[in-house]
């Protein structure tokens, strides 16, 4: 038997599975979600990044007039408050990334609009939301 035939037999008999299953989309039970920081959650013993954003780590500091403040903790707190709502739904988009929605509104976009994350998306609404948050000194862009 050739090596390829042995591998095909093992896969077809179900002794091992191919990694295509890792790309399968699945919903996440939001009651099991733990917020790690403003851009990262854990659920089902896995860690996921919110797609489309870059957010401060939980212990990250920002500066206002040379004085440090815990912007990462504030950003995390904002996301925790969102996940305490009952209408949050999350679905993985690719391995280690998720899209979460509160009443059908993208939570990543909410974070950018509130100034707690930077857009890592080329979508116009994300770019516009970051520009408005900067102009209005919201979240990490605060000057007060």
Question: What is the reported pLDDT for 63?
Answer: 87
Question: What is the reported pLDDT for 127?
Answer: 95
Q: Report d(CA 16, CA 131) in Å as an integer.
A: 48
- Is 12 inside a domain boundary? no
- Is 137 inside a domain boundary? yes
- pLDDT tens track of the chain, all 144 residues? 333 343 333 333 333 333 333 445 667 776 778 999 999 999 878 899 999 999 999 999 988 887 889 999 999 999 999 988 777 889 888 889 999 999 999 999 999 999 999 999 888 999 999 999 999 999 999 987
Question: What is the reported pLDDT for 18?
Answer: 31
Query: For residue 122, what is the domain's CATH number?
Result: 2.40.50.90
Q: Residue 74: which of 93, 96, 59, 89 has the closest Cα?
A: 59
Question: What is the reported pLDDT for 15?
Answer: 35
Question: What is the reported pLDDT for 26?
Answer: 63
Q: Residue 53: which of 93, 1, 8 has the closest Cα?
A: 93
Question: What is the reported pLDDT for 85?
Answer: 79
- Is 14 inside a domain boundary? no
Q: Report d(CA 114, CA 129) in Å as an integer.
A: 8
Question: What is the reported pLDDT for 95?
Answer: 84
- Is 9 inside a domain boundary? no
Q: Report d(CA 110, CA 97) in Å as an integer.
A: 17
- Is 2 inside a domain boundary? no
Residue numbers of the domain that contains 96: 23-141
Count of the separate structural domains present in the chain: 1
- Is 84 inside a domain boundary? yes
- Is 11 inside a domain boundary? no
Q: How far is CA 142 from CA 22, 50, 67, 68, 126, in A?
A: 40, 23, 12, 12, 19
- Is 16 inside a domain boundary? no
């Amino acid at each position: 038997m050739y090596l390829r035939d042995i591998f095909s037999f093992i896969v077809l008999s179900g002794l091992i599975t191919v990694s295509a299953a890792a790309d399968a989309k699945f919903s996440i039970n939001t009651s099991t979600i733990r917020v790690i920081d403003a851009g990262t959650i854990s659920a089902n013993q896995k860690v996921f990044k919110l797609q489309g954003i870059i957010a401060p780590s939980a212990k990250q500091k920002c500066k206002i007039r040379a004085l440090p403040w815990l912007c990462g903790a504030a950003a995390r707190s904002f996301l925790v408050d969102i996940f305490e709502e009952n209408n949050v739904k999350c679905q993985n988009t690719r391995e280690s990334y998720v899209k979460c929605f509160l009443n059908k509104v993208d939570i990543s976009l909410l974070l950018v609009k509130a100034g707690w994350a930077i857009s890592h998306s080329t979508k116009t609404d994300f770019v516009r939301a970051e520009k408005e948050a900067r102009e209005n000194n919201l979240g990490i862009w605060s000057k007060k």
